[in-house]
Structure 1
Amino acid sequence: MSSFTAFYRFLVLFFCCLLTFGSYFCFDIPSVLQDQFQGNLTCPNSTAGNGTSGNGTVECIEGLGMTPEEYNLLYAIYAWTNALVVIMAGFLTDKLGNRFGVFLFSFLVVLGSTVFALGSHFKGTKYLLPLMLTGRLIFGSGNGSLVIVQNRITAFWFKGKELALAFGLTVAFSRLGSILNFFLTQRFEAHFGMQWTLWGGTVLCVLGFLAAITVSALDKVGTRQLGLDGAIQEESRKVRVQDIRQFSLRYWLLVLTIMFFYNGIFPFIADASKFIQDKYSEYSQEEAAYVAGAVYDSSLVLCAAMGILIDYIGLRGVFAVGCALLTLPVFALLAFTFVPPLVSTIWLGVTYSFAAASMWSSFPLVVPQATLGTAIGIATSVQMIGVGLSNLVVGQILGTKSSKLWLVMVFLLANTICCIVTSVTLNVVDHHQGGTLNKTTKKSAPQESPSTADRDPLLAEQEEVDGDIPGQSSSINNS
């Protein structure tokens, strides 16, 4: 492959990485500003503040006046919208192509973030919660679907060449957006207020929309130059809804494993900042946000490396079990000890990095390439149903008069135990069906000759459906 073609592929990758940078920044803004979302509508001038006063008493924080249940509903409705939309989004993307999906879903992200920011201006009125929930609903319908399109574009352009690195970089850029949110949002809000902070997030989503237009144009020009347009359209016409019935037991066990693992991750991050402040009184809101953000800090550093490692050695099923087992102590430490929370959040970030690289990269090994978008869409849907229900449960626990923070950690611990059960079952079934998930890349995927790779490095062949794209990882909504 010529150096120009390699440059072109990485140019596509750069703009592909920018697709979800802003949306991941916006997604967790409520987590950083949880005190403001649940703060009082008004405060006496003498007591208004954003932290703890010098004598140790908590100052009044002026905010939107949401209850814990209403706050967690912002995350639950995002998850449920993903659950409903991503199945159809994956199928439509398989059927109509990446350019259609990337434009539509990035536009929905911008629209949703705009409505969400607009809703904050109706503080103290009956319109606040409906508008902000509507914004999260639209935002969720776009962001989860956008990740699927991002995966498909990356898989197409890096078929058989630097695939693990490419997917690791897309995950890293998404996590960078999340990390910058945890480091910058609270400071920005302290200087400019909540409304301008939410509008700032919307501006970042607009940048993602511009990246979508750019990557769509690059994809169109590149595929035309390579003479692949006709072949891609032919593959798209073959995709049918009935193909879902061909998904194996391994696929559904993998879906459940992912759901239970993320049931512990996302609800924790949504409430981590406030949990840390309430249990460890010496932490300010800003410090608690930094500690909570360490989950993403770890994954930013490790995701690309873990993707390459797992792409090289395989053992995806073993890593799935190991990640679940190693996550158990995280919630136990938070629930029953006063070990510094930074230990737990960094630890969780490490297991999260391995899980993202091992679990999501397993889908191309268990489903046909032509239905990969549909398969990931269904997996994301089931994952988000679980995460949405978990957010509601956490909200109910925190909303009770005698709320017990340790009980939240026990609930997350129970989800991790369920993840261990499903991942062990997955390995048993996989072993009886050839052990594809735990083979190394060289044994699980057919190898192309140099001449074939040079001639057609981008298009997945129909007969290479059983292990064609090792090393794929996803965020999410993922990641």
Structure 2
Amino acid sequence: MAVAAEKAYYRFVVLFFNCLLTFGSYFCFDIPSVLQDQFQGDLNCTNASQPNSTHTGCVEGLGMSPEQYNLLYAIYAWTNALVVIVAGFLIDKLGNRFGLFLFSFLTVLGSTIFALGSHFKGTPYLLPLMLTGRLLFGSGNGSLTIVQNRITAFWFKGKELALAFGLTLSFSRLGSVLNFFLTKRFEDQFGIQWTLWGGTILCVLGFFSAITVSALDKVGMKQLGLEGAIQEGSKKVRVQDIRRLPLRYWLLVLTIMFFYNGVFPFVADASKFIQDKYEGYDQQTASYIAGAVYDSSLVLSAIVGILIDYVGMRGILAVLCAVMTLPVFALLAFTYVPPLVSTLWLGVTYSFAAASMWPSIPLVVPQATLGTAMGLATSVQMIGIGLSNLIVGRILGTKSSQSKIPLWHWQQMMIFMLANTIACIVCSVALNLVDRKQGGTLNRMTKRRPAVEQEAREEKDRAPILGEEEEEEEDDDDDRRSIN
């Protein structure tokens, strides 16, 4: 009789709680985007109590400059870039449960310090506290995503892999969408401090989800009799294994980085951009329109995941996503087409990109090193995003927290986004060329592939950059050194 862990419902129960891991942290991540006016608002306003104050009037807030505001996003990205490499390796060595507890706790601690910092407005402590909070929050959230992806890949590899990744993204983006819809209303009623504490409470719910996922993962592995084998494989993971990651993996990582360089930095500043460029948009409406990127992703991710499971074509879709993103930033830079058209369009391409690019990583690296591979991919992605946030901050670069940024500055920012998208196209085309020479794994369907054929192809697909002879020589050298 089949054990519970072998049945389909068990892996979907794991998936449900696994999805909830990052719901709260994704909600918290873009709170500054929705409340950009409040973060950059004046410390004291004579007209703050007046009803129906416009965007051009005074908004009472924390008094940050645009450069300081973008630094909140940049430090999150830099922290991810540094921490996730070590985090991925530690997860491979010490297991999923170690990562679940540590990194979900860091999101709670970081969001707590970030909320606490808002109580020190007008003092020298505000910015250091809020940056420290984002640093710890970034340490936890980026690394928690690695554990989440690792668990998803283990339970769904060779089955509904893209669907599972799509559902995970949908739940995460549900947090982002609710943030864009609810946060401004909440802030109007209770103020910025209580709004940030509300985000902290959602991160606490993620911590309880981590406890549940940990228990389900442990019970399931024991029932399947795999816990011992996986622990044994984890002991063999070495830092040197990074050299064995295939060329396709690195091209895939660069494709992801350049695509996300055009999404996250744009969303971070989209609300203010819409208010500055287009007539008739208040802060609440601008937040709704900026959040439409995630609205599309929320609706489409699961559907796109099912589609990709059946048709494959991940590499080709990566190229098409990048090409179809070019008109988004061109419209924003050079036309006055309503911004909702561009944000919805970007959400569609983002949905296809996320559902095709990230699930491709488990197809080209061994399971034992998947945490390390995901960590490196996230690190490179966050280095790119962090640099992009800094560049955007310098491009927009006004010193006043309330001034309307000149449109030519916004146009330069969109041109920078276009440049990243073009780089993404180049990398994705190279990825497809290399993949075709090495068996075309990324453009094959993985769902319902016969197990024997799948294993054989996976071994072929994971041929490292180093030749086999070089590896054998290195192993021989290691053996001789150990004997000596």
TM-score (norm 1): 0.90
Of 4, 8, 11 in structure 2, the residue corresponding to residue 9 of structure 1 is 11
SS of residue matched to 1:441: coil
Give, in whole Å, the separation in 2 of the partners of 1:217 and 1:96. Answer: 16
Mapped pair 1:333 → 2:336: no
Q: Paired residue for 1:198?
A: 196
Deviation at 1:193, TM superposition (A): 0.1
Q: Paired residue for 1:368?
A: 366
Q: Deviations over 1:258-288 (max 9, x none)?
A: 1111000000000001100111130110000
One-letter identity of the residue aligned with 1:13: L
Mapped pair 1:224 → 2:222: yes
Which residues of structure 1 form unaligned runs of 5+? 453-459, 469-479
Of 2-11 and 376-385, the range deviating more from structure 2:
2-11
Structure 1's 225 and 429: CA in aligned 2 closer, same or farther, altered over 3 A? closer
Matches of residues 164-179 of structure 1 in structure 2 within 5 Å? 164-179=162-177
Structure 1's 108 and 466: CA in aligned 2 closer, same or farther, altered over 3 A? farther
Q: Deviations over 1:295-330 (max 9, x none)?
A: 000001111111121121111111111111100000
Mapped pair 1:85 → 2:83: yes
Q: Paired residue for 1:28?
A: 30
Structure 1's 273 and 19: CA in aligned 2 closer, same or farther, altered over 3 A? same
Give, in whole Å, the separation in 2 of the partners of 1:49 and 1:129. Answer: 28
Q: Paired residue for 2:130?
A: 132
Work out whether residues 367 and 466 of structure 1, in 8 Å CA contact, stay in contact via their aligned partners in 2.
no
Matches of residues 108-257 of structure 1 in structure 2 within 5 Å? 108-257=106-255
One-letter identity of the residue aligned with 1:319: L
Give, in whole Å, the separation in 2 of the partners of 1:32 and 1:41. Answer: 18
SS of residue matched to 1:42: coil
SS of residue matched to 1:333: helix
Deviation at 1:367, TM superposition (A): 1.7
Give, in whole Å, the separation in 2 of the partners of 1:386 and 1:60. Answer: 34
Of 388, 393, 399 in structure 2, the residue corresponding to residue 390 of structure 1 is 388
Q: Paired residue for 1:430?
A: 435
Work out whether residues 51 and 284 of structure 1, in 8 Å CA contact, stay in contact via their aligned partners in 2.
no
One-letter identity of the residue aligned with 1:210: F
Give, in whole Å, the separation in 2 of the partners of 1:152 and 1:358. Answer: 16
Give, in whole Å, the separation in 1 of the partners of 2:115 and 2:378. Answer: 26
One-letter identity of the residue aligned with 2:450: Q
Identity of aligned residues (%): 76
Structure 1's 88 and 463: CA in aligned 2 closer, same or farther, altered over 3 A? farther
Give, in whole Å, the separation in 1 of the partners of 2:89 and 2:36. Answer: 36
Of 249-258 and 99-108, the range deviating more from structure 2:
249-258
One-letter identity of the residue aligned with 1:139: F
Deviation at 1:358, TM superposition (A): 1.2
Which residues of structure 2 form unaligned runs of 5+? 400-404, 463-484
Give, in whole Å, the separation in 1 of the partners of 2:330 and 2:260. Answer: 17
Work out whether residues 48 and 59 of structure 1, in 8 Å CA contact, stay in contact via their aligned partners in 2.
no
Mapped pair 1:418 → 2:416: no
Give, in whole Å, the separation in 2 of the partners of 1:252 and 1:195. Answer: 42
Give, in whole Å, the separation in 1 of the partners of 2:449 and 2:274. Answer: 48
Structure 1's 420 and 162: CA in aligned 2 closer, same or farther, altered over 3 A? closer
Work out whether residues 43 and 60 of structure 1, in 8 Å CA contact, stay in contact via their aligned partners in 2.
yes
Give, in whole Å, the separation in 2 of the partners of 1:371 and 1:466. Answer: 16
Give, in whole Å, the separation in 2 of the partners of 1:175 and 1:2. Answer: 33
Of 396, 402, 408 in structure 1, the residue corresponding to residue 413 of structure 2 is 408
Mapped pair 1:439 → 2:444: yes
Work out whether residues 180 and 291 of structure 2, in 8 Å CA contact, stay in contact via their aligned partners in 1.
yes
One-letter identity of the residue aligned with 1:447: P
Give, in whole Å, the separation in 2 of the partners of 1:149 and 1:50. Answer: 47
Q: Deviations over 1:60-83 (max 9, x none)?
A: 100000000000000000000000
Deviation at 1:364, TM superposition (A): 2.0
Q: Paired residue for 2:354?
A: 356
Matches of residues 304-319 of structure 1 in structure 2 within 5 Å? 304-319=302-317
Structure 1's 3 and 85: CA in aligned 2 closer, same or farther, altered over 3 A? closer
Instruction: Give the root-mean-square deviation of aligned CA atoms.
Output: 2.1
TM-score (norm 2): 0.89
Deviation at 1:3, TM superposition (A): 7.0
Give, in whole Å, the separation in 2 of the partners of 1:364 and 1:285. Answer: 41
Work out whether residues 93 and 235 of structure 2, in 8 Å CA contact, stay in contact via their aligned partners in 1.
yes
